[in-house]
Amino acid sequence: MFKKSLIASILLLSALSLMPDVVVARDLSGTYSVQGTNPDGSNYSGTCIISRISGETYRFRWSVGNTYEGEGTLEGIRISVDWGDSTPVIYTLLPDGSLDGLWAGGNASETLTPD
């Protein structure tokens, strides 16, 4: 019995060590550096301030030459932000706290890095 439990524990620990980093839920509020690529291939940069509205709902305010605002709800490691365009920005929260996003129907990209 003890031998089976020991083997099971070793197998479980081995499997856990092979799993990718898990993102722990956290408050996204803060100031982020923005680096992005427009649908035409041109690059842009600036800042984004993320503020918690309530629960897992956040307001985004980008300053990237022009100013844009949007809101989204964090679901697991994804947040879809409606910013007034026909398609949202869809971000994935990475283990280092940055957000990788796609917008313009996947034809443009953006990375938000915490300051």
Characterise 18 by phi-psi region: left (phi > 0), alpha (psi -120 to 50), beta (else): alpha
Q: In the chain, what are the domain boundaries? A: 27-114
Query: ∠ CA 109-92-101 to the nearest 5 degrees?
Result: 15
pLDDT of residue 25: 54
pLDDT of residue 5: 42
pLDDT of residue 26: 79
Kindly report the CATH number that applies to the domain delimited by 27-114: 2.40.128.120
Point out the residues of the chain with pLDDT beneath 50: 2-24
